[in-house]
Amino acid sequence: MKRYFMKKSGKAIMAFGLMAVLAVSSLAGCAKKDATDTTVATSEAATESGTTTFKAGTYSATVTGMHEMTVTVTVSETEITDIQVEHQETPGVGEPVVDLIKDEILEIQGLGVDVVSGATLTSNAMIEGVTDCLKQAGLSEEGINELLAIKKVVEKEEDLDLTADVVVIGAGGAGMAAAVTANQAGKTVIVIEKSSKMGGNTILAGGALNAVDDGSETAIANKDSVENHYNQTFDGGDKAGDPVLVRTLVENAWSGVEWLKSLGMEFKDGVFTVTGGMWPRAHKPVEPEGTGFFKTYQSYLDSSTGITMVYDTKADELIVEDGVVTGVKCTGKTGNTVTAKANNGVVIATGGFGQNVEMRVKYNEITKKWPTLDETIPSTNTSGITGDGMLMAEAIGANLVQMGNIQLLPLGDPETGSLSGNIEHAVESRIFINLEGNRFVNEGGRRDEMTLALFAQPETTMYIVMDSDTYPEGNELNNFGESIADLVASGRALKADTLEELAKLMNVPVENLIASVEDYNRYCKGGDLEGQTDAFGRTLFTDTDGVNNGINDGPFYAASRVPTVHHTMGGIQINENAEVIDTNGNVIPGVFAAGEVTGGIHGTNRLGGNALTDTVVFGRIAGTSASNFVR
> Do the strands 189-192 and 307-310 form a parallel or antiparallel pair, or are they unpaired?
parallel
Q: What phi and psi values does residue 139 have, to the nearest 5 degrees?
A: -75, 135
Q: Whose Cβ is closer to ligand ADP: residue 130's or residue 572's?
A: 572
Q: Which is nearer to ligand ADP, 333 or 439 (CB)?
A: 333
CA gap 436, 513 in Å, rounded? 8
The mark string for 117-156 relative to ligand ADP (x by CB under 6 A, - otherwise) is -x--------------------------------------
- Those residues with Cβ within 8 angstroms of residue 501's Cβ, 6 or more apart along the chain or in another chain: none
Q: Could you please report the per-residue DSSP string of 107-168?
A: HHTSS-PPPPTT-HHHHHHHHHHHHHHHHHTT--HHHHHHHHT--EEEPPPPPEEEEESEEE
Least Å distance, CB 141 to ligand ADP, is 35
Binding of ligand ADP by 195 (CB under 6 A)? yes
Cα–Cα separations (whole angstroms), residue 226 to 282, 543, 603: 13, 24, 18
Would you say 107 or 317 has its CB closer to ligand ADP?
A: 317
Nearer CB in complex with ligand ADP: 194/602: 194
Q: Nearest distance from residue 274's CB to ligand ADP, in Å?
A: 16
* Given 50, 110, 200, 237, the residue binding ligand ADP (CB under 6 A): 200
Pairing of strands 346-348, 166-169: parallel
Shortest separation between residue 192's beta carbon and ligand ADP, angstroms? 5
Which C-beta is closer to ligand ADP: that of 326 or that of 470?
A: 326
Task: Report the residue closest to ligand ADP, judged by CB.
Answer: 172
According to the binding rule CB under 6 A, does residue 80 interact with ligand ADP? no
# of chain residues touching ligand ADP (CB under 6 A): 27
List the Cα angle 65/69/73 in 5-degree steps. 115
> Could you tell me what percentage of the chain is helix, strand and coil, using 3-state DSSP and rounding each to the nearest 5?
30, 20, 45
- The answer to whether residues 609 and 210 touch, using CB atoms and an 8 Å cutoff, is yes
**Taking CB under 6 A as the rule, does residue 172 contact ligand ADP?**
yes
Stated as kind and residue range, the H or E segment containing 556 is strand 556-568
With binding defined as CB under 6 A, does residue 192 bind ligand ADP? yes
> Binding ligand ADP by CB under 6 A: which of 3, 67, 87, 194?
194
State how far the alpha carbon of 16 is from the alpha carbons of 74, 79, 147, 152, 552, in Å: 22, 15, 17, 10, 63
Of 196, 220, 191, which is closest to residue 304 (Cα–Cα)?
Answer: 191
For ligand ADP, the closer of residues 150 and 349 by Cβ is 349
Q: Which residues pair with 599 in a beta bridge?
A: 573
Q: Which of 44, 157, 193, 312 binds ligand ADP (CB under 6 A)?
A: 193
Residues 343 and 321 sit within 8 Å (Cβ to Cβ) = no
Q: Is 444 in the site for ligand ADP (CB under 6 A)?
A: no
108 binds ligand ADP (CB under 6 A): no
Q: From CA 616, how far away is CA 249, in angstroms rounded?
A: 9
Based on CB atoms, which residue is closest to ligand ADP, 271 or 601?
Answer: 601
What is the C-alpha radius of gyration for the chain, rounded to an integer number of angstroms? 25
When asked if residue 116 is in the footprint of ligand ADP (CB under 6 A), the reply is no
- Least distance (Å) from ligand ADP to the CB of residue 170? 3
- Is the CB of residue 414 less than 8 Å from the CB of residue 562? yes
Binding track over 388-407 against ligand ADP, x by CB under 6 A:
x-------------------
Q: Is 92 in the site for ligand ADP (CB under 6 A)?
A: no
Which CB sits closer to ligand ADP, 163 or 372? Answer: 163
Indicate which residues carry an active-site annotation: 447
Using the minimum distance from each CB to ligand ADP, give the nearer residue, 22 or 116. 116
Nearer to ligand ADP, 167 or 499 (CB): 167
Alpha-carbon distance of 628 to 587, in angstroms, equals 15
226-236 and 243-251 helices, crossing angle to 10°: 140
Using CB under 6 A, pick the residue from 147, 349, 408, 427 that binds ligand ADP.
349
Identify any residues that bridge with 20 across adjacent strands, giving them in sequence order: 40
∠ CA 72-78-80, rounded to 5°: 25
List all residues 6 or more positions away from 546 whose beta carbon is below 8 Å from its beta carbon: none
Question: Which one of residues 122, 201, 210, 457 is an interface residue with ligand ADP (CB under 6 A)?
Answer: 201
- Which residues within the stretch 366-385 sit at the binding site for ligand ADP (CB under 6 A)? 384-385
- Per-position x/- string for 576-605, each x denoting binding to ligand ADP as judged by CB under 6 A, each - no binding: -------------------xxx--------
SS (H, E, C) 412-479: ECCCCCCCCCCCCCCHHHCEEEECCCCCCCCCCCCHHHHHHHHHCCHHHCEEEEECCCCCCCCCCECC
Interactions with ligand ADP, residue window 602-621 (CB under 6 A): 615
Q: What residues numbered 521-580 form the site for ligand ADP, per CB under 6 A? A: none
Backbone angles phi, psi at 466, to 5 degrees: -155, 175
x/- map, 34-63, ligand ADP, by CB under 6 A: ------------------------------
Across 475-555, where does the E strand assignment appear?
A: 494-496
Answer for which of 94, 206, 306, 351 binds ligand ADP (CB under 6 A) is 351
Please select the residue that binds ligand ADP; options are 171, 250, 260, 274, rule is CB under 6 A: 171
Given CA atoms 611, 448, 598, 340 in this order, what sign does their dihedral have?
negative
Q: Which stretch binds ligand ADP (CB under 6 A): 187-195, 226-234, 430-438, 504-512?
A: 187-195
332 is a contact residue toward ligand ADP (CB under 6 A): no
Q: Does 170 bind ligand ADP (CB under 6 A)?
A: yes
Rule CB under 6 A: is residue 314 a binding residue for ligand ADP? yes
Q: Is the dihedral of CA 219, 220, 222, 225 positive or negative?
A: positive
Return the residue of 315, 433, 493, 591 that touches ligand ADP, per CB under 6 A: 315
Residues lying near ligand ADP in the complex (CB under 6 A): 118, 169-175, 192-195, 200-202, 314-315, 349-351, 384-385, 388, 595-597, 615
